[in-house]
Amino acid sequence: MTPVKPMLAVSGRPFSSADWIFEPKIDGTRCLAEASKKGIRLYNRRQIDISARYPEIAAALARGTSDCILDGEIAVFEGGRPSFSALSRREHQSEMMRIEYLSSALPASYVVFDILYAKGKSVMGLPLWQRKSLLPEEMQESEAVTISDSFAEKGEDYFQAALKMGIEGVVAKRLNSFYQPGKRSPDWIKIKKSLKLDLVVGGYIPGKGERAPYFGGLLLGAYSRGQLHYMGRVGSGFTEQELKEIAAGFSPLEQSPFGDAPLTPQVKWVKPDQVVQVSLLEVTQDGHLRAPVFLRTRDDKEPLECMLNQILDEANGGKKN
């Protein structure tokens, strides 16, 4: 079976339709799981192997899954809700003893919502409703691996119910849609309660006081026509561990990577190879972030995937197709 890049969703607003189903939006790490005679391989959207980070998921899949590729989301649940901080602790581990400890103390879950290969053959050309019917036949559910719930037609009602449950939103999927690897398709629409954007780090402001070893704020942007467009900076929401990890990833540059470099005193430019996620109130009319707060790093996302037109569409709520 050939490794596949995951299908991606566009942004939109709540709606209802008999031609669509609606799933909870689990905001974790996107993961494709390949089960074959060679064993279990978990990889993220950048096709980086993350199997060693989640031994509990690999073990659960090995017990009841073979000759298939699954698509889903890895999350760490606390109180029935996905936890950003807990997931971050799992994502950034490389020491096996620490991984083994956290797999018990902070067990991860793999929420499966699609299947790409079944019995060693591609099923991406089948409609979604048919692929969904294959999931219970091709995999065995457990505490670590579950099939995502889905609800028919009443998307607006389910969106409101999801918010009450503390879930970020829903993903609408056209029942007759095929799986389109690597494509951001209007057949999948993510509908979220709050604005969260993935942006590229292009520089930083040196830190003061307790932040002197790290940074005071990050300068963020997105790509448009091959150039990095400056959108603003974020200086809040970081834990000390996150400050340390992000600063350790800086690769200094002498010149600004932004096509429209901000006139910010004392700024230090860095190679734009890190992606972070922020929450914010809005993107202003001139394309800048209003009241951004850092949420997490996105090691699973390529900087060039952070496209300005997609970000502006998401900030405006998208369009229902």
Residue tagged active-site, from 25, 132, 173, 192: 25
CA distance 61 to 68: 11
Q: Name residue, tokens 């429209």.
A: 260
Put residue 165 in one of left, alpha, beta given phi > 0 → left and psi -120 to 50 → alpha.
alpha
Q: Please, are residues 60 and 43 in contact by the beta-carbon 8 Å criterion? A: no
Instruction: Compute the Cα dihedral for 73, 77, 79, 83 and give only its sign.
Output: negative
1: enclosing H helix or E strand: none
DSSP, res 51: G
Give which of 231, 257, 256 is closest to 309, Cα–Cα. Answer: 231
DSSP 49: B
25 included as an active-site residue: yes
Using CA atoms, how far apart are residues 112 and 126, in angstroms rounded to an integer? 17
* Of 255, 256, 245, 181, the residue nearest 221 (C-alpha): 256
Point out which residues pair with 200 in neighbouring strands: 221, 275
Name the nearest CA neighbour of 53 among 120, 102, 111. Answer: 102
Q: What share of the chain is helix, strand, coil (3-state, %, to 5)?
A: 25, 40, 40
Helix (H) or strand (E) holding 230: strand 227-234
Dihedral sign of CA atoms 180, 186, 191, 192 in order: positive
Q: Cite the active site residues.
A: 25
